[in-house]
A and B are shown apart, each in its own frame.
Chain A
């Protein structure tokens, strides 16, 4: 049984409400941080904990905070990135919907550590009902003296505002989010300057994911060293994984990053195996933008070791044989799923969400989508597969923001690992419309455990 830090109290009735949350030990970290710690010690504590950004890139949070510029007389801001739009990722939604106070609590502590008197939650527009939940939570916290002027009599002021996005995936990129928060078109900015130097209204800004901020609560309560004890190596603490796809028990799980991928998929504690007793074909382990992995590479690394659910192990082997932890959107595909169709639907998503600012992404995503649609419909040519490879290669790394990379990686990985299936689609244009390729040689190498 894995240890739970964020979702420990998820099943307490009415944990959404302040009174229940407070009774269950909530807001202890605010009291501890504001009364007995200095902003520097909080940042040190976070550095000690080894907490890594939970939004996808996995950048150490403490290090990010230590970069923030502190010019005299210029306000600083904390912005929480709740623009969770990655297909397959829904962990922040669960957290904000059921335990909104843990986010507010983490935000107060972080705001104190960064010296931000006005902090923002930039929330995805589609999460309309969660805005109300958050606003209620903010109001409750305010009524109880945890927000507003002179919090707990320590002289620290903090206000939290919730800003609704207008439904753009690109606004999850931190500089596009900042532009959007300023009321402009959500185009990513060219870095440098980084937001830690010039962010919202040219003020130093830290943008962090919801889960990262929520993780502050156990770090402050138990101490950074205690937090660092959980997990392996540089993957410390717990991570929320939103599992979906062809599994028996989809949902949001909190794992401590020591379990193996195999255990995560097949154990009854987590995903509970593949639905209907089918075979595992492939998996996108970290949200739609990370490379897809076939079953054999997913469960064991190229070196023959067991792959674990953590940052290092999932990335083992680079992009040739590995993937990424990403934002924790764990999408499982069984033998009935078509990789070409899956890649096409991802390409369509990225084409739709490209901001259109820089040309490789704007034009390349649409081109890839059209070629993939042709292959999917049995109108493709063998040369199209090489063309796709060439297009993704020319998009990757040549764009302003990582959306270009995110659009290129799934296509690259699908061709790298499932080229056979693409070729089958091209060579059997009629058959591919009526049946699926199946598992192929990358079939599940592991015997399906008997159903208990």
Chain B
């Protein structure tokens, strides 16, 4: 039975007992209170009424007496009234009593009392009536005899009634007392029995519960919480609360056991998982950095096979291209080459091919006897299980792994295989991708190299073509120009001529310098000689004066000679400057007449100046130089003519070849010049005859100077002569002075003329100068020394030179001379420096390709880079090495 039930039953029964007790007590109490009410209300009232009656009766008798005794009518009347009132009261009390009295005995007494009272009233009434009639004695009689007797009787009856009632009261008291006793007894019985019952229930319950809880505690205390796998159970099959506890405990124990079990399993799973991951990581990390598929395959089988306790493994991989359907053996383990000959396997071929085709693993648990043998040195046996697993990446089979083992694989090993194959798939895929990329790169490298080789071949072919072209051109040239062949034949002579020319140039330079140095002391000498010859102090002997005069004369001669040498060397070294202005022909004529008419007259010669029609009023040339030439020619004519005439003819010459020129022909009838000497006479220090000098005097430089000057003025001198008949020296001059180009043309003309006539005297143009000759250079420099030096050097190589003193002028000069071939640009200049000038020049599209050579005094790298940045083609440092400059210019003027 459940404790709840027991406790409810126990306590509720006690409650019931209490209720019963209460009911009994309350009924007894009601009884008691009824008795008391009876005693109090009924008996007491009855006694009280009886007493009332007694009292009223007594009063009546008193009153009666009074009335009888009373004389006054008024008092009598008053007494009578009270008497009647008392009678009424007696009657009322008797009525009340009659109503409440229920006991037989009492009723009899009351009835008797009633009768007695009635008779009392009657007698009283008679007494009264007698009293009223005045018969007092009779009334007294009556009262004393009759009414008193009745009254006494009445009072006794009332006393009886009182006694009856008191007896009844006594009875009721006794009864109540009995009932009280009864209540006490009952209560005691109930309380005692209730207590006993309660104690019994409590004792029983406590004992029972204590025992069973102790059992449970002992079981629970047996539980060792470390081992949760085998927990004790509480053996108890009662259905009460402790049974519930036991059951709950058992359930708890079971779930704890389950939990412990699960935890164990979970831990095992964790260990397995961690092993799996570690191994997978180990294998994949050993694959890292491998970029060769074969190496990867070998590494993989070496790693995987022992891990799954397999004894034989072959890894096949897809060959090369991603769309290939063939596998080849790439890695082996425990592999017997003799037994397995297969090298490549097509998809679908055999089990390996099938596995690859379906991308599905194939397992053979019963390997036929001679399927494969796994062997060692000691023997061989067939494996128990054979597994063929595809390696794929995103559903694309990349390889197949074949494994054989003597045992079978644990689930963990199987899981490991699946896992590792998946990872290998990724690794293999990335290797394939890497291989593809690397193949593509390789291909592109090959293509790049091929392109490079093609471009080189093309370059080569271009060069070959060009050289062929050049050869053709050369051949064409050779065939075309006879002159060149002739030139070749005369090679030796030309070289000599060049040497001579060079020697003469050196000589000229030397002389130019020397003459200058000589003139200064000579001038002092002459001045002193003159002072001596004048003999102002008159202290010299005539002989001494003659000596001085001789010194002066010879000195003057020497000075003339030096001046001539100076002129010639100036011309030859290119230092002669010419000043172009308008020159009136008329002035020239009058000059000639003025100077040479007197001389001619003195020598007895005819002197004539003629001018043909068409000769312009004036020409553009250097007046001083023209005068010098004419003077020279005329003085020669006068000098070498003993008799006859000297004549100047001025005329015009017009040819198709060149522009119109003015012609000054100086004719004489002198000694003449033999044809072979006609060229020599123009060379410095040469006269027609070595002895001429002695005969006729003069330096022998006059003609050289004249010819060079004529050249400078853009003209030339021609000689026609016959020995003993006379000579004609003809000066051709252009009407207008056209810079150097005319000189050049003239030279070209001379050259052609010379070649045609086979004269050896032409100036040989070396091949070396070919690159520079005739090219026009612009020199931009603010240092006149440089301009002078550069101009001299360049002109020496038959180049035309124009110059400017700063960048702005340089650009202006370029604009004026479109035919400038090369610019030599100084960097440090006022107004506009070289960098700026070069930049300005380069900004003009016409001058993008114009070679500009920067001349810089600074050898700093920065300076050089700045030149290049500005757009200079090349640079050369100052002071300029002429040889280097010429080489450099040849490079930049090439082509």
Question: Are A and B a genuine interacting pair, yes or no?
Answer: no
